[in-house]
């Protein structure tokens, strides 16, 4: 049984071809720019999106703790009063209140996956596991990947590599492509910004490289954190000698996570300036001095 907070079909941004993306709940980092803040905490959560509210009042009546109220013409959620009974979400017909996270079996997930098997075959697509962090649920991930392989479906995972190597070793035979994030080289700065040092991450990167598995390395560019020449040069040098590296990709910071809604257990989040396009091109060109194939937001630069 795994805790899944979303299943996205018909994706073309999470690997080759048309893919079904499975979002695992729970992460062992807390990046203040996270696209999926609803996936950080491991437990079920309540999320409120006021824009979807139709002002029917059902949630206010259902909540016995006063965690949902009507103020200034809209619904507001007071996390400190919420006991996560989810009674309000059960009576919210517009979807403004919803439970984030659901226990699912491998069979339940595969029923979703197999609906688009023909599309995978025609487009060269498949299934991508992401999160949150996939490797916080290693046994469920392994069983799901094995099931995909039994159905001859291509597989990929997106991971921050911050997990014991033994867990990666278990899934290696069932993963076609690893998409890994290397956010910074300096361990102290890494810990300051995302909550953990990076020694384990770098060690796992090296071990993964030694296996010869196809790999894509990505760096989300965030102003004030890793948008300097020295950081990108250091990352490019680190991965330049990986024979199985498909490409290195720089991703422009996107404030998507700031608009997801109000969570019961909101992670720390911050707004950053979006890096200018010219600066992103400069960083991509800098990385290109060390790596043959560099992409910028999905487009090949060299």
pTM for the model: 0.91
216 vs 78, residue with greater confidence = 216
**Distance between CA 31 and CA 196 in Å, rounded?**
10
pLDDT of residue 27: 96
**pLDDT (average), residues 251-262:** 75
**pLDDT (average), residues 96-105:** 92
Is the pLDDT at 214 greater than 90, yes or no? Answer: yes
Share of the chain above pLDDT 70, in %: 95
Is the pLDDT at 83 greater than 90, yes or no? Answer: no
Confidence band, pLDDT 50/70/90 cuts, at residue 168:
very high
Q: What is the pLDDT of residues 134-157, one digit of tens each?
A: 999 999 999 999 999 999 999 999
Is the pLDDT at 234 greater than 90, yes or no? Answer: yes
pLDDT of residue 142: 98
Query: What residue ranges define each of the domains in the chain, with the CATH number in brackets?
Result: 2-42+101-300 (3.20.20.70), 45-100 (3.30.70.20)
3-state secondary structure of 224: coil
pLDDT of residue 260: 64
- The three state secondary structure string of 57-119 is CHHHHHCCCCCEEEECCEEEECHHHCCCCCHHHHCCCCCCEEEECEEECHHHHHHHHHHHHHH
**pLDDT (average), residues 210-234:** 97
Return the bridge partners of 11, or none.
Answer: 19
Instruction: Supply the Cα-derived Rg of the chain in whole angstroms.
Output: 20
pLDDT of residue 191: 97
**Distance between CA 130 and CA 106 in Å, rounded?**
15
* Lowest pLDDT segment from 16-20, 67-71, 169-173, 218-222: 67-71
Q: Which residue has the tokens 């996560």?
A: 84
**Distance between CA 63 and CA 88 in Å, rounded?**
6
* Lowest pLDDT segment from 83-87, 253-257, 287-291: 253-257
**pLDDT (average), residues 113-134:** 97
Please choose, from the candidates 149, 129, 120, 112, the residue with its C-alpha nearest in 3D space to the C-alpha of residue 17: 120
**Distance between CA 75 and CA 51 in Å, rounded?**
9
**Distance between CA 5 and CA 93 in Å, rounded?**
19
């Amino acid at each position: 049984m795994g805790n899944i907070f979303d299943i996205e079909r018909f994706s073309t941004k999470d690997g080759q071809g048309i893919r079904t993306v499975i979002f695992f709940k729970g992460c062992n980092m807390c990046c203040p720019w996270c696209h999926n803040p609803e996936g950080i905490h491991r437990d079920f959560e309540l999320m409120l999106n006021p824009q979807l509210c139709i002002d029917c009042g059902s949630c206010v009546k259902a909540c016995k703790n006063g965690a949902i109220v009507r103020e200034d013409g809209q619904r507001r959620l007071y996390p400190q009063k919420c006991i996560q009974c989810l009674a309000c979400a059960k009576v919210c017909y517009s979807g403004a209140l919803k439970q984030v996270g659901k226990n699912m079996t491998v069979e339940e997930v595969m029923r979703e996956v197999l609906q688009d098997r023909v599309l995978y075959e025609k487009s060269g697509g498949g299934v991508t596991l992401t999160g949150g962090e996939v490797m916080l649920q290693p046994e469920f991930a392994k069983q799901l990947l094995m099931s995909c392989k039994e159905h001859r479906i291509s597989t990929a995972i997106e991971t921050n590599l911050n997990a014991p190597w033994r867990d990666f070793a278990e899934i290696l035979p069932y993963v076609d492509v690893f998409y890994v994030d290397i956010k910074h080289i300096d361990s102290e700065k890494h810990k300051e910004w995302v909550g953990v040092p990076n020694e384990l991450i770098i060690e796992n990167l090296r071990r993964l490289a030694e296996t010869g598995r196809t790999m894509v390395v990505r760096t989300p560019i965030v102003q004030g954190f890793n948008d300097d020449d020295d950081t990108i040069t250091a990352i490019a040098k680190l991965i330049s000698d990986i024979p199985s590296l498909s490409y290195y990709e720089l991703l422009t910071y996107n404030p998507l996570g700031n608009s997801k809604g109000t969570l019961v257990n909101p992670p720390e989040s911050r707004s950053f300036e979006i890096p200018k396009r010219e600066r992103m091109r400069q960083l991509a060109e800098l990385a290109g001095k060390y790596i043959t194939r560099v992409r910028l937001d999905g487009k090949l630069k060299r």
